[in-house]
Structure 1
Amino acid sequence: MKKKVLLLASIVMTAAFVATACGTSAPTTPTTAPTTPAAKKILRTNNSSEPGSLDPALAQGTHESWVLDHTFEGLMKRSKEGLIVEGVAEKYTLADDQVTYTFTLRDDAKWSNGEKVTAQDFEFAWKRVLDPALAADYSYQMFYLKNGAKYNSGEAKVEDVGVKAIDEKTLEVVLEVPTAYFLELTAFYTYYPVNKKLVESNADWAKDPKTYVSNGPFKLTDWVHNASIKLEKTDTYYDAANVKLDGIEFAILEDATTAWQKYEGGEFDFLTPIPGPVVGQLKASNSSELVIGTDLATYYYNFNSKRAPFDNAKVRRGLSMAIDRKTIVEKITMGGQTPAEGVVPFGMFDENNTEYRTAVGNLIKYDLTEAKKVFEEGLAEAGMTLAQFNAKGFKLLYNTSETHKKIAEAVQNMWKTSLGVEIGLENVEFQVKLDREKAGDYDISRAGWIGDYADPMTFIDLWETTSSYNDAKFSNAEYDKLVAESKATVDQKVRMENMRKAEKLLMEQMPIAPVYFYTQPYVQKSYVSGIYKPINRYPYFIYADINK
């Protein structure tokens, strides 16, 4: 409304000037007419789900990290070219021992409240993630730090953890073992700093935009729960001169069809995810607005291995073998996804610098005859008949989404047709799904994982017995041993061979049923430019622009 009033005033003033000029023969000096202030550049999109927390230490999914990746920045960051480059860190060195890093912070790194970002902020933030009292789901990502795991389990003191502020600008980090992908981890949101002084004085700082302080290109200015999140450009950001947007507005709509309708109606400038049929239509019409983004991610189903009969590997394998993955990606998702061949997707390399996935091979089988045989054997071992199984009323849990619903309905029908199995469907909000998985309150659940870093370990270590994200409640001593040995060595051949063995073991036990390897289709209006998508993150708007 304010813009309309300003525009009307401008028109009236211009009209008055013209009338005066026409009514006199006296010469006039050319006058510049008042101009309407340029409209703010606000990029509008949809976040799909309500965040559980916008505290970097407590966040656990893309519904949170997409916001955090625009409000915070780590020691390193992802460039437009997909490289890991210096962020808050101006430079770094790695000692000859291959475990001691020294990071020097930028002089111009500031918080959104104008205070300086210090090495003490990083030390505090990382140790806070490890603090057992915080119970952060992602605490294990800090176990790379010397004594990180021991402090988290109460076997060491906080001062024993391998991160220390030498002075305001210098952060010393000591790892347990050499870790090739550690620099990439420092660009991950769990490693983002928090303002030590603020967090110590206000435990609820991340719940209210009025008290929210961050160090990235944008700051949180408004959060209407289950409705919208608004970000505003941060003038204190060291690279603010290259940030062209004035802000970002995230709606929070779980229904992808409704979100698409809003995009079509001009209410959004960018959108992901997109309903599968829409992706198919856009591809068929060669739409200039459609982009098929690459993704380092796997879509899968968890089996609750603590609940009979899903505690039987044959039952799990039988259900997995009855899933027609090719039909799902060709008829439902239609965004260039590929049927899963294991838990580790394509896009990462082994000790020979060749595709890891190719070397491991396809570990997923689709065989309806064998599926029925194995499933029935598993039920018999579990002391259960098919009729008893069906009488249990087991359900497949998924978070609200038209695509998840269609995939679940398809799998439900495949199991019914091929195995005679009757599985109900239950949809809930994303955060509710996450909470129920953590509590083990489900039979089968839909899940997905985007790699935190570009190494197969980001998928393999999910199913260690003690992993925070082992929602299938899987436990296997040999698997744990292979993962631990892989993490404890710098010998790439040993690392990779152990991970290959671990993945094969996992697919024999089948605590999860991988369905497909993701892509990330998205659409953006023709007037939007500068968006880029790292292989394992949601698209970045940091250097986006709007020119209508």
Structure 2
Amino acid sequence: MLGNRPWKMAVGATAIALLAAGCSGGGSEDSDSEANSVIIGIAEPQHLIPSNTTETGGAQVLNALFTPLVDFDEQSKPVEVAAESITSDDNKVWTVKLKSGYTFHNGEPVTSDSYINAWNYGAYGPNGQGASYFYERIDGYADLQSKDPDGEDGPQKAPEPKAKTLTGLKKVDDTTFTVTLSAPFAGWESVMGYTAFLPLPNAAFSAPGVIADGFEDTIVGNGPFKIKGTWEHDQQIVVEKYADFKGTAAKVDGVNFKIYQDPKAEYADLVAGNLDVQGTIPIESLASAPTDLGDRFQKSPSSSFAFVGFPLFQNEYKDVNVRRALSMAVNRQEMTDQIFLGSQTPATGFVSPAVAGYRPDTCGANCEYNAAEAKKLWDAATTKPQTIKIAYNADGNHKAWVDAMCNQIKASLGVECAGAPEPKFADLLNKVEKKEPVGLIRLGWVMDYPLMENYLGPLYGTGGSSNYYGYSNPTFDNLVKEGSAAATTEEAIAKWQQAEDILAKDMPVIPLRYGQNVYGFSEKVKNVKVDTFTKVDVTTIELAS
């Protein structure tokens, strides 16, 4: 997932401050339930249909309403949850057996069709689902897509796709189905832990492949909590414990996901005791948080990775020694200490520490601050930029660290450097895609699933979905593909590590920072955990007394 904003910054007016409130008239049972509820701050979700939910606000809510086929342990290895087993003899045909007893919140049993119907809906191109591309490894995906042709007479209507359902999904019985991929992939079980692979009940559809009007606002899941009332847009989403849940029960009776437009106002509510959990403390509050919150100010590993890419389509950046010099000119530790107050850590490789196969210091000397060696490499280069620009999106609060990075480059190399802000992230990407000379490119990434491949392929593969800088190395590409086709995850990691070693030699980007979750909670709660996907664990949180 391409990271627009490594930190969730102020995006609007004062946050709406609402107290947790039930929807009924207020009997004693309601009062007890509310008393054993917690309030968690989120941003307004874009969507709650799983195949269309690609941002953290929606994912947090779905984490309470649904149970995935697999989750991940502390080593980022998949662990079956709603699945009884997930097996494959060849990494191409996967058999999924469901645990018995799981039901949706409306009482419908969770069956193989619940997954097959949901995934077919998500994969069908005309439905325009934001996470549709996660199904592209499944056989038949291409036949569900249609391209919008631009003829001589102007734009034409896109033709209907060849098919409406994936040939790679087959029902064996009510609790067993198979997934056939177009090519073997050892990491497929991990991919199925992503939000897009959640099930939907029959009640979601008014007709085959058609989501019923209003379903999204009163969404029905298979998780530990069910929605209470409806999604109150820009205000709150209230959920309550689902009594017939067959998994591990939550320790609280309900959660009010309180929606904020301004993280600073959210933080003020946290300090005042009107909010129980804020998943991301805003940069402006980092200095005061240790005093404001004491040991309720916490950090945990995240999968975010901040970097800048070299525009390799420009001649002045084609010399690897120019790229090495610029990377060595950057003092990552100073930047993380002074700008981010230690809330992020210096990056020393090309994938996040959150994934299996990560190794520290894979970038080696190229990611170590060494002004003297950087100046030596820079001076020896015959083709190099006369000035340095770092392009970034102005709506993402990047100016402070970009300016700091430029000052370091000036001091180390004696070359002029300046930030080049674009109003929005989309504006920056549009220029990069047209190969306009924007200079170095500010980018970030948060994993979709915990595999090295989820960084290597999209960011560095030839034609990768987020390889905006034009890096291409056939040996690297082959190693990534060999890893994906390997018989075991261990064999896959070995290939992917070899691929990362090539990046350390070619330096297509400057790794800068690994993110952390920096969060806080009220005196009312304990056992608050935020995972590598930035989600608060709603099953472990409990009242402090």
Please give the range of the TM-score, normalised by the shorter of the 2 chains: 0.7 to 0.9
Q: Larger Cα Rg: Structure 1 or Structure 2?
A: 1
Match 1:423 to one of 419, 424, 433: 419
CA distance in 2, matches of 1:162, 1:229: 38
Residue number in structure 1 paired with 2:476: 479
Match for residue 248 of structure 1? 256
Amino acid across the alignment from 2:96: F
Looking at both structures, which has the greater relative contact order when contacts are Cα pairs under 8 Å and sequence separation is at least 6? 2
Match of 2:150 in 1: none
Distance 1:365 1:207, change over 3 A: farther
Determine helix, strand or coil for the equivalent of 2:294. Answer: coil
1:325-378 deviations in whole A, cap 9, x for unaligned?
11122223234633111111335444xxxx634677565243445556766888
CA contact (8 A) 1:54 1:207 kept: no
Q: Deviations over 1:17-46 (max 9, x none)?
A: xxxxxxxxxxxxxxxxx9994344443233
Is contact 2:348–2:362 with CA below 8 Å preserved after alignment? no
Q: What's the secondary structure of 1:505's corresponding residue? A: helix
Secondary structure of the corresponding residue to residue 367 of structure 2: coil
Could you tell me which runs of 5 or more consecutive residues in structure 2 were left unpaired when the two chains were aligned: 1-17, 148-160
| TM-score, L = length of structure 2 | 0.75
Which of 74, 84, 87 is equivalent to 2:81? 87
1:186 aligned to which of 179, 192, 211: 192
1:327-342 equivalences in 2 (<5 Å): 327-335=334-342, 337-342=344-349
Q: Which residue of 2 aligns with 1:451?
A: 447
Q: Is the 8 A contact 1:50 1:252 kept in 2?
A: yes
Cα shift at 1:267 = 2.5
* 2:48 corresponds to: 54
Tell me the residue number matched to 2:59: 65
1:121 maps to 114
Deviations 1:459-509 (A, max 9, x none): 212222343343545444443222222212226676344323432433444
Q: Which amino acid aligns with 1:123?
A: I
The AA in structure 2 aligned to 1:245 is D
Alignment match of 2:359 (pick from 352, 356, 359): 356
Give the drift of 1:423.
Answer: 1.7
Structure 1 residue 460 and structure 2 residue 456: aligned? yes
CA distance in 2, matches of 1:131, 1:346: 34
1:233 is matched with which residue: 221, 232, 240? 240
Q: 2 CA distance for matches of 1:376 and 1:254?
A: 46
User: Which residue number corresponds to residue 509 of structure 2?
Assistant: 512
Query: Relative to 1, partners in 2 of residues 1:113 and 1:447: Cα closer, same or farther, differing over 3 Å?
Result: farther
CA distance in 2, matches of 1:3, 1:299: 36
- Match in the other structure for 2:393: 397
Give the corresponding residue for 1:407: 401
Cα pair 1:415 1:422 within 8 Å, conserved = no
Deviation sequence 1:215-248 (CA, Å, 0-9, x none): 33345555565x4441312536444854523222
Q: Does the aligned pair in 1 maintain the 2:391–2:428 contact within 8 Å? A: no
Please give the root-mean-square deviation of Cα atoms over the aligned residues, in Å. 4.4
Provide structure 1 residue ranges, at least 5 long, that are not aligned to the other structure. Answer: 11-33
Which one of the candidate residues 13, 16, 39 is aligned to 1:44?
39
After superposition, the C-alpha distances for 1:151-186 in whole angstroms (9 at most, x for unaligned) are: 669999666643212233222223456644433332
Whether the 8 Å contact between 2:226 and 2:241 is mirrored in structure 1 is yes
1:165 corresponds to 2:158: no
The alpha-carbon distance between structure 1 residues 187 and 2, as it changes in their structure 2 partners (threshold 3 A), is closer
Q: C-alpha separation between the residues in 2 aligned to 1:359 and 1:80?
A: 22
- The number of equivalent residue pairs is 500
Q: 2: distance between equivalents of 1:228 and 1:108?
A: 34
- In 1, the alpha carbon distance for the partners of 2:89 and 2:506 equals 41
- One-letter code aligned to 2:70: M
Give the aligned partner of residue 540 of structure 1.
Answer: 537
SS of the aligned residue for 2:333 comes to: helix
Contact 2:91/2:186 (8 A) holds in 1: no
Contact 2:102 2:245 in 1 (8 A): yes
Kindly tell me: are residues 507 and 172 of structure 1, through their superposed partners in 2, closer, same or farther at Cα, counting changes over 3 Å? same
> Does residue 95 of structure 2 align to residue 102 of structure 1?
yes
User: How far 1:287 sits from its partner (Å)?
Assistant: 2.1
- Correspondences of 1:126-137 after superposition (within 5 Å): 126-134=119-127
Matches of 1:3 and 1:532 in 2, distance apart?
21
Match of 1:499 among 491, 496, 499: 496
Distance in 1 separating the partners of 2:380 and 2:361 = 32
Bigger mean CA offset, 174-183 vs 199-208: 199-208
Q: Which amino acid aligns with 2:196?
A: T
CA change 1:414–1:45 in 2 (3 A) is farther
- The answer on whether the counterparts of 1:105 and 1:169 sit within 8 Å (CA) in structure 2 is yes
Q: Is contact 2:38-2:255 (8 Å) kept?
A: yes
Give the residue type in structure 2 aligned to 1:455.
L
Q: 1:63 to 1:509 in 2, by over 3 A?
A: farther
Give the SS at the match of 1:127: helix
The answer to whether the 8 Å contact 1:300/1:516 transfers is: yes
For 1:328 and 1:495, the matched residues in 2 are separated by: 34
Task: Measure the CA separation in 1 of the matches of 2:507 and 2:127.
Answer: 32
Q: Deviations over 1:61-86 (max 9, x none)?
A: 33442233223222223579987443
Q: d(CA) in 2 for partners of 1:286 and 1:267?
A: 14
Percent sequence identity is: 21
